[in-house]
Structure 1
């Protein structure tokens, strides 16, 4: 029997995807010995339709796909789009396990999310079935000694870029070169103006 393909799951709205997301995924790919990192674009939660600043699901997915076109081990995924809404991480991971039995999925989350992990839906189910890779976030210190055996803290350094800041810059007519991949600069400037 072939070994399972180690695959990271990096979920988010990616509204828009930026160079910090990509740099982080590259670091985690190397530090956690993964074959691929899948960028799971989260669909708009039907209960949050009033949010207003979240771009259409397909447009965000298309930007992620284009942004990763030259990154052979980073994969854009619209997998959650076909799942029942709202989609919870434990359900998504269960579906992924069933649909891809050849892969070992590791969940990639920030330190802020790890510190709130006990409030997620079915955290024990996730911990039972999946390694968790935690990356640092400023202001959210993690005590490595307190982590369960299946949770690892990777030293990626910090990527101080935010999608919120990029949207604000576009709305103000400021440049976003260097903050988002060159392939999607025109899309970002068009979609978020």
Structure 2
């Protein structure tokens, strides 16, 4: 706990990748707000949108963010949202920062689009009570709209808001990713970040051997009819299936096939995207054949920080490494990555897709242990009840 009264700025984002616009905005806010410290916080899964397909792992984004901001004094990159996993909520982050810095004056730095929707965020009253909102205006024509919204938030919520005209560098992360994929280079990101991207072959960038990272396999073949009873036969003919199943021990492939079918059925029952469910089910055990030492090597490769709860038991390791492996090698999005990550342990506040993959793994047709029929029945009546029953039956 820090008992000094400081002016602390919070600057969050997916940083996918961190670029010169991020750095310039942070420097401008630091000067304008006369901050004592700036905390840069990469998000795990943003609540308002998914990460772009083929995005690097959270460990890679964290390291790139460190490299982008390492030259700035009194700036610290924190992994508190990445360690939390699941969706990243600003209210939770502010609560944690307030615990560490109880006397600090906290400034939440956001872009114009985020500022205009902040009243719709998770627990907005807590956000407004905890900090001052600082909106960065990059377009001259938008200033009046932001000032009007500042007054609206003050009147309705009692929010303290500041609007700053940021004339620094306007850069789009989407355009940066396109430039890297097209040219293998861009001057829109710090040199050290570009070197890291090239070294790790991120965003389709070629390494010294001329190969790109990630996968050339599409996340899901568009021609597959997900309502067809012969779905699995069609799926087996795709490059995606062939590549993924090659990582699975032959004796486990029937289980994976069963998970695919069950996940699609559950998705159709509960209005979830069956394509995402099929891909998550296909990849949920992609690293399960690896031994403990190999699993821990992947922990090191992906920069995963081992926790006592995760490493005491061997069973959950493949879910943790499998999620990172699937993102790196198959370009899955954050929702699929998270469904793979929690398919053995579950977690508080699970998404519908996460519950579907957990249950598909538990109840797929080859399963025949005591209690599975009850969970199988519940899964098509109430997902939450099925989860509660399955977790009650499971001892890790």
TM-score, normalised relative to structure 1: 0.87
1:141-191 deviation per Cα after TM superposition (whole angstroms, max 9, x unaligned):
3125725261001122253211111110111125312x1111111223431
1:115-164 deviation per Cα after TM superposition (whole angstroms, max 9, x unaligned):
11111111111111111111014364312572526100112225321111
Question: Is the contact made by 2:44 and 2:85 (CA closer than 8 Å) also made in structure 1?
Answer: no
Residue in structure 1 matching 2:190, options 181, 185, 191? 181
What secondary structure sits across from 1:142 in the alignment?
helix
What secondary structure sits across from 1:40 in the alignment?
strand
Of 74-83 and 121-130, the range deviating more from structure 2: 74-83
What secondary structure sits across from 1:143 in the alignment?
helix
Question: Is the contact made by 1:10 and 1:108 (CA closer than 8 Å) also made in structure 2?
Answer: yes
- Give the aligned partner of residue 82 of structure 1: 83
Q: Which has the higher strand share?
A: 1
Shift of 1:84: 5.3
Shift of 1:101: 2.3
1:15-73 deviation per Cα after TM superposition (whole angstroms, max 9, x unaligned):
00001100011010011111122110101369x87852321001011011112121112
| Equivalent-residue separation in structure 2 for 1:84 and 1:67 (angstroms) | 23
TM-score, normalised relative to structure 2: 0.45
- Give the aligned partner of residue 98 of structure 1: 99
Shift of 1:104: 2.7
Question: Is the contact made by 1:131 and 1:150 (CA closer than 8 Å) also made in structure 2?
Answer: yes
1:164 aligns with 2:165: no
Question: Is the contact made by 2:45 and 2:51 (CA closer than 8 Å) also made in structure 1?
Answer: no
What secondary structure sits across from 1:27 in the alignment?
helix
What secondary structure sits across from 1:134 in the alignment?
strand
What secondary structure sits across from 1:38 in the alignment?
strand
| Equivalent-residue separation in structure 2 for 1:99 and 1:9 (angstroms) | 13
Query: Structure 2: which 5+ residue stretches go unaligned?
Result: 206-396
Question: Is the contact made by 2:14 and 2:46 (CA closer than 8 Å) also made in structure 1?
Answer: no
Distance change in 2, residues 1:44/1:117 (3 Å): closer
Question: Is the contact made by 1:43 and 1:81 (CA closer than 8 Å) also made in structure 2?
Answer: yes
Distance change in 2, residues 1:8/1:45 (3 Å): closer
| Equivalent-residue separation in structure 2 for 1:56 and 1:25 (angstroms) | 23
What secondary structure sits across from 2:146 in the alignment?
coil
- Give the aligned partner of residue 38 of structure 2: 37
| Equivalent-residue separation in structure 1 for 2:168 and 2:160 (angstroms) | 23
- Give the aligned partner of residue 160 of structure 2: 150
Residue in structure 2 matching 1:191, options 184, 188, 202? 202
Of 123-132 and 183-192, the range deviating more from structure 2: 183-192
| Equivalent-residue separation in structure 1 for 2:50 and 2:10 (angstroms) | 25
Greater C-alpha Rg? 2
Larger RCO of the pair (alpha carbons < 8 Å, separation 6+)? 1
| Equivalent-residue separation in structure 1 for 2:102 and 2:51 (angstroms) | 37
Tell me how large the CA RMSD over aligned residues is.
2.6
Shift of 1:3: 4.7
